[in-house]
Amino acid sequence: MVLGEKAVLHSTATVRNIRNQRHAIRVGNNTHLKGELLTFAHGGEISIGEYCYVGEQSHIWSAAHISIGDRVLISHNVNIFDSLTHPVNPRERHRHYREIITSGHPVSIDLGEAPVCIRNDVWIGCLSIVLGGVTIGEGAIVGAGSVVSKDVPPFTIVAGNPAKFVRELSPDER
């Protein structure tokens, strides 16, 4: 892991770089981590910008690439995934499970990976889930308990399951 100046891994933070490649996880200056960062054995990269916060019990799991901009607030109990985490086919899923418990995460597997991009100044409310292939635009707010399965335009508020447009932020809220 590459840790920026004055970045803090709090006692609740967990970093699991299963790929074991130093540059697979990069954390910017002045960022505070209280949750979990994980890259899979077959791939995954996590880059977090400067002055970000990842709350307690939040999980960022990458099998492709998760990019988080600067000044992003990820509240507690948020989950961000850039893959399905397990195969859809039940036989493949069981084989995957058996491999994990017997020899560790597989170095070759298709988990439907799709990168996630979270732009600068985003706030993701507690208990939210961000799914693979999503871009959350600059300055956007994701309401608590939302499931984000589609792109979020810049400077908007979305909420719900699935997350839907609530309103645009006014000029003075930007």
State the catalytic residues. 86
Cα 96 from Cα 107, distance rounded (Å): 11
Task: Give the amino acid at 5.
Answer: E
Find tokens 């017997």 and name the residue: 102
Task: Give the amino acid at 57.
Answer: Q
What token pair was written down for 87?
Answer: 């195969």
Question: How do 164-168 and 156-159 pair as beta strands?
Answer: antiparallel
- Residues with Cβ within 8 Å of 20's Cβ and at least 6 positions away in sequence, in order, are none
